[in-house]
A and B are shown apart, each in its own frame.
Chain A
Amino acid sequence: MGTIDLSKSDPNFRDQLTREPGGEQISACFVCRTCTASCPISAVNEKFNPFRIIRLALYGLRDEVLKNDFIWLCSSCYACQERCPQGVSITDFMTLLKNLAFKEGHAPVGIKTQMELIKAQGRIYAIDEFDNKKRNKAGLPSLPTSCDVVKELLA
C-alpha cells in the first residue's frame, strides 16, 4: 500500500470528478468498507481496492489514480454499488475513471489494442475464412468477416 504523498494533490480533481456522471456521490463515503469486503477482485488481488481508489480520488491524487493500472481490474459486477449504504455509484465511478484515464492516454496496451481492433474490424476477435469453415463444419452459419456498421457508428 505504501504512504500517500499529499504534496502531489490536485485540489481540482475532486471537483472535476463530482461534476461527472458516476462521481456525484463520492464525497458521501463514510469508510465502512462494505465495497472492498464485497469485491470479488479485492479478494484475490490486493492492488484493487475500491475504497482506496475513492479515497485517493478524494485526496486529489490524480496521477496515482489515473496512471495506475489497478482501475482497469474492476470487473463491473456491481456488488459494491448495490451494497454501498451511502449510495455511492462505485462501479459507475470506476467507469468514469477508466474514461478519464483513456482520454489522458493512460490505458493499458491491451485496452488500446482492443480499441484499435474494434475501430478497424468492428470486432475484438477477427473472423476470417478459417473460422467460418470451422463453423460450417459444426453446422453453424457463416459470420460476416467485416463489420462496417461499427465503423459507421464510431465515425
Chain B
Amino acid sequence: MTDGGRHPRITLLTMSEVVEVKGYVGNFQVKILKKARYVDEKECTACGECTKVCPVVWPDEFDLGLSSRRAIFSPFPQAVPSAYVININECLGHNPVVCAKCVEACDKGCINFHLSDEEIVEEVGSIIVATGLEVYDPTELDEYGYTRFENVLTSLEFERLINAGGPTKGELIRPTDRKRPRSIGFIQCVGSRSARKGGNYCSNVCCMNTVKSTLMLKEHYPDMEIKVFYIDIRAFGKGFEDLYRRSRRLGVQYLRGLPGAVEETPERTLTVAVENTVTGRLQILDLDMLVLAIGIKPASSTQKLQEMLGLQLSPDGFFLEAHPKLLPVDAATRGLFYAGCAEGPKDIKESVTQASAAAARAIRLMHEGKITSEPITSMVVPEHCKSCGKCAEVCPYNVITVDVKKKIPAVVNTAACAGCGTCAAECPFGAITMNHFTDTQILQQVEALLEEDPREKILAFACNWCSYAGADYAGVSRLQYPPNVRLIRTMCSGRVDERFIWHGFLKGAPVVLVSGCHIGDCHYIDANHWTEKRVKKVHKKMSKLGIRPERLQLEWISAAEGLRFSEVMKRMETLRQGVTQDEISETIEILKNQKK
C-alpha cells in the first residue's frame, strides 16, 4: 500500500468518490468528488500532536468500536497517505472556529479549516473496479445473540482483540470481565450458504480465517479449550489442509453441526445447544466466548457503480465477469476490469492474483495507444435517420448518440460498438446498417434457404455465441436432430429484425425459430431482452393477423447445451408437421395483402 502511494506514476485519490463516468475504452472521463481532509497531506508528518489535544472522543471504526479515537485522527497505523484527517461532522466546529486546539498544536501549520470538497475530472484509458466488500451483520440471526450478549463477537472483532496492534495489544480478553476466556467457540457459515439470511454462496475465506485464529490461540494459550462448529471445512488451496490438520493436532475440537440456540448464564458465560453429527447427540456446551465467522457480501456502492459504468451483477450481487473461465478479470464492456472481492468473495492471495492480472490486461490494452476492433459494427445512414432515439435506447453499450430534440441524426461510436446489431433490428426506418450482417444479406439467406420446398424446412435464427455454438456442440457430440433445420447465424439474437421473421413466413416457412443465449448470459450485456420483447410483439401481431403464434418460437440454448439444441429441433419438427400447406398459403396471402 505504501509502495503504491510512493510510486511516481500512481496517483492515489483517497477520500474520493466517483460521481460520473463517461466515454468508452481509451477515452473515459471520470468525474471525482474529492472530499476535504482539512489537513495538508503533503506537509503532515503524522506526529500525532493534534490528536493529543483534540477533546472529541469517538469509537474507533478500525477497531470496530473496541477502542476510541479523536475527531482528528489517522484511520489506522499503515494508512496511506500517512496524514491525519478531520471528520468535520464530529469536530467541535470550524465555522466559526470554537476549539482549534489542533491548529495550535500543529507546528507545521498543516491544519486548514478553509479547505472544501472539490470536483475533479480525470481522463483515463481503462478502469479497474476494486471496490471491495462489506461484512455480514449477524444481528438478524437472533439465535446467536450477537449484540444481545456481550461475549458473542464477530470474527473481525476477535481479529482486533488478538492483533498485537489492536486495542488490547494482542491480549485476548472477554468484553464483560476483561479476563482471558478459558473456552471459546467459533460458529462457521454465519451469513453464508444460507437460503434465508445472508448470502446463499460460500464466503470463501471464513474457514481458513477460523483455522488461523485457532492456531494463534493455541500458540498463545495452549490450555484454552477451543471448539469450532461447522458444516464443512473448506480447506482447499495450497497449504490450507496442512494448516487445518495442524490446528486439529494442537487439540482444537472441530464439531460438525451448527448451534441452534445460544443463551447467556448469570455468570455471563454462554450456553450453546448443538447436535454433534458424529455422535448424533444433542450437546449443551458452556463456553466463555463465542466468535461468529461472518460472511462476505457485496459493497453497498456496487449498485451505484454498476449503473454508472453499465456493468452487470451476478445473482449474488457481485460484479459479473465477461466469461467465468476465459475472461475472469474483464468486464463485458471493453476497458473495464475487476480486482478483488468486488467480483466475488476471495482471499488475499486470489485478490493479489486478480489485481495483477487486471493491471496486466489493462496495460496490454493500453500500451500501443490504439486498439483493434472487430469490423462487425453498426453504421447509421444519416439521410434515412429520423433521430427518433430508439437505437440509443436499445444499445446495451450506450455508444449511440442522438439528439432527439434538435433532430441530429444518430452517430455510432464504432470503437466502442460491440456489434450485436440490436439497433439495426429496432430501427423503424432501416437507417442502420449492420456491417457483415446487413438486412440484404440476411433476407437473401432467408430466400435461398426457403427456395425449394419451403414447407419441409424449419427456419432457425441462431446467435453466434450460444445457439450456433450449441448446434456445433450437438454435431460434435454426434447427436441426431432433424436434417431439415436451416440455420442463419447472427452475432446476437438481438439482430433478428421483425422483417426477417415476416419475410420467412412470406416465403412459406412453416416454423420460424429465434434462438439465443439464456437471459443473463447474453454476450452483449442484455441485448437478448430486446429479442424477447420483439418476439412477444410479433406474437401479438400474428394473433391479430390470424396467423398461429405457435409458429414463431423463441428458445434459449447455450453453447454447452448440444442435447437441448437437438431436443428443441425435434420439437420444431413436430411443430412443423402440424402446419398444413393450406395454412402456409393462407399466411402468405395474409402477408401479401398486408403489404399492399
Contact = CB atoms under 8 A, between A and B. Distances in A.
A79 B275 CA distance: 15
A1 to B, nearest CB: 6
Interface string B225-248: 000000100000000000000000
B282 interface: yes
Given A33-B275, A85-B196, A42 B143 contact: no
B56 interface: no
A32 B273 CA distance: 13
Interface residues of B, number: 20
Interface string A77-91: 001101111110000
A32 B188 CA distance: 11
B196 A37 contact: no
B152 to A, nearest CB: 16
Given A43-B273, A43-B282, A34 B195 contact: no
A79 B260 CA distance: 9
B176 interface: no
B231 A30 contact: yes
Contacts of B143: 38, 79, 83
B306 interface: no
B396 interface: no
Contacts of A1: 280
Interface in A52-81: 52, 79-80
A39 interface: yes
A93 interface: no
B281 to A, nearest CB: 8
A33 B196 contact: no
Contact of B282 (A28, A37, A82, A83): A37
A86 B192 CA distance: 11
A51 B196 CA distance: 18
Contacts of A32: 189, 231, 257-258
A34 B260 contact: yes
Given A30-B231, A38-B143, A83 B260 contact: yes
Contacts of B195: 28, 84-87
Nearest to B282: A42
B194 interface: yes
Contacts of A82: 196
A35 B189 contact: no
Interface in A16-54: 28, 30-39, 42-43, 46, 49, 51-52
Nearest to A37: B260
Contacts of A79: 143, 260-261
A3 to B, nearest CB: 12
Interface string B179-210: 00000000001000111110000000000000
A30 B282 CA distance: 18
A39 B259 CA distance: 11
B277 interface: yes
A38 B142 CA distance: 12
A37 B260 CA distance: 4
A37 B259 contact: yes
Interface in B104-144: 141, 143
A130 B273 CA distance: 47
Interface in B268-305: 273-275, 277, 280, 282
Contacts of A51: 275
Interface centre among B193, B261, B274 (most CB of A within 10 A): B261
Interface string B348-391: 00000000000000000000000000000000000000000000
Nearest to B274: A37
Contacts of A39: 260
Contacts of B277: 31, 33
Contacts of A84: 195-196
Given A1-B280, A32-B231, A37-B275, A85 B260 contact: no
Interface in B61-90: none
A43 B257 CA distance: 15
A42 B275 CA distance: 10
A34 B258 contact: yes
A85 B189 contact: yes
A35 B273 CA distance: 11
Contacts of A80: 260
Given A31-B277, A84-B196, A36 B282 contact: yes
Given A83-B143, A87-B196, A37 B257 contact: yes
Nearest to A1: B280
Contacts of B231: 30-32
Contacts of B194: 85-86
A39 B277 CA distance: 15
Nearest to B141: A83
Q: Which 4 A-B pairs have the closest CB atoms?
A: A37-B260, A38-B260, A87-B195, A85-B194
29 contacts: A1-B280, A30-B193, A31-B231, A31-B277, A32-B189, A32-B257, A33-B257, A33-B274, A33-B277, A34-B259, A34-B260, A35-B260, A36-B260, A36-B282, A37-B260, A37-B273, A38-B261, A42-B282, A79-B143, A79-B260, A80-B260, A83-B141, A84-B196, A85-B189, A85-B194, A85-B196, A85-B258, A86-B194, A87-B196
Given A52-B280, A82-B196, 18 more contacts: A31-B231, A32-B257, A32-B258, A33-B258, A33-B275, A34-B259, A36-B282, A37-B257, A37-B258, A39-B260, A43-B273, A43-B282, A46-B282, A80-B260, A85-B194, A85-B195, A85-B196, A87-B196
